[in-house]
Amino acid sequence: MRTALIGYGLGGAAFHAPFLAATEGLRLSAVVTGNPERQAEVRSRYPDAEVIASVDEVWRRADEFDLVVVTTPNRFHAEHARAALEHGLNAVVDKPFAGSAAQARALAELAAGRGLLLAPFHNRRWDGDFRTVRRLVAEGALGRVHRFESRFERWRPEVKDSWKESGDPADLGSIVFDLGTHLVDQAIALFGRPRSVYAEVRVLRSGARADDDAFLALTHEGGAVSHLWASALANDLGPRFRVLGDRAAFVSHGMDPQEDALKAGATPGGPGWGEAASPASLGGTPVPLDPGAYQDFYAAVAQGRSPVPVADAVTGLEVLEAAFESARTARTISL
């Protein structure tokens, strides 16, 4: 599949380009970026890929591509995904998949109507620690799970000058759209669509304009609850996962190593890829984590299928909308 990667910030450089270049059945044909330094980096690292300065050129030359990967700033995700589909191109769309559930539904309908692949990029389903949780739940090793705790916490007390810190709602800069999207998607992958949402969303850091601290509580059919934390102001990090069942508990600390490896320029999928030394326990006994496997996402795309159901991305955005409403009204919101 001849692929145009739209955007070459951290997402494009670390999470997409290495896999597009390494996955059998995909070809990194072009990278869209107007930044001269990023253009030079692309030419150095991917000499066979064409550098294109404007996304409009991709649309004009749509017959030269099969797949578009959208990893532009959040506010453009739905716009660029729609343009790709309207030009007959399959699309992978970085998170958040869209700015609203309504936009996401419209994209899903457009893709289905045109018979095109539309894949939400929720790569954190292939974190090694989450793969371990998912396997243990499926095997019944924990028994009936009654609480799923999940955290993406960071210590970043200084506010950065970027669109991710913007107070303009159109930029989708809230930590809920950033880290919260991963947390919610993982909960949905485990337990399905929740029936209610409660949330606390705050701005804590001095000078910050975007939400930088959030807690979400999701109640699922069957009685399990997901307690999800995202924060930029956590000087003492809690467990990454704490999953409680009526037979055993699973606890893990630390982050999946794939992101750091990709930032360092590692080629994905080689020997030892995704293996983590992070401490984890099952029922109090140390256990190894399954290796992370981000490469599995694009392996599925190369086979012409979406590894993440678009319906799950729609549900995730419904949860985020309910979370903002809950935080605003101090009420639990039914879905």
pLDDT tens for the chain, 335 residues long, are: 999 999 999 999 999 999 999 999 999 999 999 999 999 999 999 999 999 999 999 999 999 999 999 999 999 999 999 999 999 999 999 999 999 999 999 999 999 999 999 999 999 999 999 999 999 999 999 999 999 999 999 999 999 888 888 888 999 999 999 999 999 999 999 999 999 999 999 999 999 999 999 999 999 998 999 999 999 999 999 999 999 999 999 999 999 999 999 999 998 988 899 998 889 999 999 999 999 999 999 999 999 999 999 999 999 999 999 999 999 999 999 99
CB 96 within 8 A of CB 72: no
Give pLDDT, residue 14.
95
Give pLDDT, residue 161.
85
| Half-sphere exposure for 5 (CA within 13 Å, toward CB) | 29
Rounded CA separation 183/190 (Å): 11
Burial label, 207 (beta-carbon count in 10 A; 0-12, 13-18, 19+)? exposed
CB 146 within 8 A of CB 223: yes
Give pLDDT, residue 228.
98
Give pLDDT, residue 232.
96
Give pLDDT, residue 164.
85
Dihedral class, residue 251 (left if φ above 0, else alpha if ψ from -120 to 50, else beta): beta
Give pLDDT, residue 271.
87
**Residue from 57, 20, 51, 55 nearest 38 by CA:** 51
Give pLDDT, residue 19.
97
Alpha carbon distances (Å) from 48 to 21, 28, 106? 10, 8, 35
